[in-house]
Structure 1
Amino acid sequence: MRVFERASGAIKDKNSIWAAKFSRKGPLHNPDLETVVIKATSHDDHHIDSKNVQRVFQWLRTSPLYLKPLVWALSMRMQKTRSWVVALKGLMLIHGIYCCDIPVVNRMGRLPFDLSNFSDGHLSPAKAWSFNGFVRAYFAYLDQRSSFVSSEVKQKKNVSNNKKTEEVEETLMEELEKLQKLQGMIDMLLQIRPKDENLNIGLILEAMDCIIVEVFGVYSKFCNKIAKVLVRIYEVGGKMEANIGLQVLQKASIQVEEISLFFDLCKDIGVLNASQCPKIDRISPEDIQDLERIINGASSKKGCGFVGNDEDNNKAIVVRDCSSTAMVSQQEESENGLMTVITQQWEVFDDDHVIVGAKGMDNVSNNGAKDIIGTTTNPFEESYSIVPYVPVHHHQALPDLISW
Structure 2
Amino acid sequence: MTLWIKATGALKDRYSIWVAKLLPSGPCRNPDLEMVIIKATSHDEQCMDYKNVQRVFKWLRTSPLYLQPLLYTLSIRMEKTRSWVVALKGLMLIHGVFCFDLPAVQKMGRLPFDLSLFSDAYINPNRAWVYNAFVRAYFLYLDQKSAFVRVEATRESKSGGKEKEESVMEELQSLEKLLGLIDLLLQIKPRSPNMNVVLVLEAMDCVMDEVLEMYGKFSSRVHRAVSRVLDMGGIEEAKCGLDVVRKAELQGAKMTTYFNFCKDIGVLNVSDCPEIVRVDEKDIDELKRIREGRTMESDENDDDDDDDEKNGDCRAIVTVPERNQVGLKTVITNQWEVFDDDLIVMDGASVPLATANNNPFLDYSLSLVPYVPVSNSVLPDLIIL
Q: TM-score, normalised by structure 2?
A: 0.73
Counterparts of 1:255-334 in structure 2 under 5 Å?
Answer: 255-274=251-270, 276-277=271-272, 279-281=274-276, 283-284=278-279, 286=281, 287-295=283-291, 297=293, 299=295
Residue among 222, 235, 239 paired with 1:239: 235
* Pairing 1:181–2:174 present: no
Q: Is the 8 A contact 1:42 1:86 kept in 2?
A: yes
CA shift, 1:299, in A, is: 3.7
Quote the residue 2:73 is aligned against. Answer: 73
Q: Is the 8 A contact 2:57 2:97 kept in 1?
A: yes
Secondary structure of 1:47's match? coil
Residue identity matched to 1:283? R
Residue identity matched to 2:159? V
CA shift, 1:280, in A, is: 2.0
Q: Distance in 2 between matches of 1:200 and 1:289?
A: 45
Computing the radius of gyration from Cα coordinates, the structure with the larger value is 2
Residue identity matched to 2:195? L
Q: Distance in 1 between matches of 2:4 and 2:30?
A: 31
1:133-179: per-residue Cα shift (whole Å, max 9, x none)?
Answer: 11011111100000000111111111118x9xxx9642222211111
Quote the residue 2:366 is aligned against. Answer: none
Q: How many residues align?
A: 297
* Pairing 1:91–2:94 present: no
Quote the residue 2:111 is aligned against. Answer: 111
Residue identity matched to 1:108? M
Secondary structure of 2:28's match? coil
When residues 235 and 219 of structure 1 are mapped into structure 2, their CA distance, relative to the original with a 3 A threshold, is same
Quote the residue 2:203 is aligned against. Answer: 207
CA shift, 1:240, in A, is: 2.1
When residues 168 and 256 of structure 1 are mapped into structure 2, their CA distance, relative to the original with a 3 A threshold, is same
Q: Is the 8 A contact 2:259 2:273 kept in 1?
A: no
* Pairing 1:197–2:224 present: no
CA shift, 1:259, in A, is: 0.9
* Pairing 1:125–2:125 present: yes
Structure 1 stretches lacking a partner, 5+ long: 304-404
Q: Distance in 2 between matches of 1:57 and 1:6?
A: 27
1:310-338: per-residue Cα shift (whole Å, max 9, x none)?
Answer: xxxxxxxxxxxxxxxxxxxxxxxxxxxxx
Q: Is the 8 A contact 2:108 2:146 kept in 1?
A: yes
Q: Is the 8 A contact 1:39 1:49 kept in 2?
A: yes
1:41-94: per-residue Cα shift (whole Å, max 9, x none)?
Answer: 000111110111111111001100101111111001001100000000000000
Structure 2 stretches lacking a partner, 5+ long: 300-385
Q: Is the 8 A contact 1:172 1:237 kept in 2?
A: no
CA shift, 1:110, in A, is: 0.5
Pairwise CA RMSD of aligned residues?
Answer: 2.1
Q: Is the 8 A contact 1:88 1:135 kept in 2?
A: yes
Q: Is the 8 A contact 1:43 1:83 kept in 2?
A: yes
Secondary structure of 1:272's match? coil
Bigger fraction of residues in helix: 2
Counterparts of 1:22-101 in structure 2 under 5 Å?
Answer: 22-101=22-101
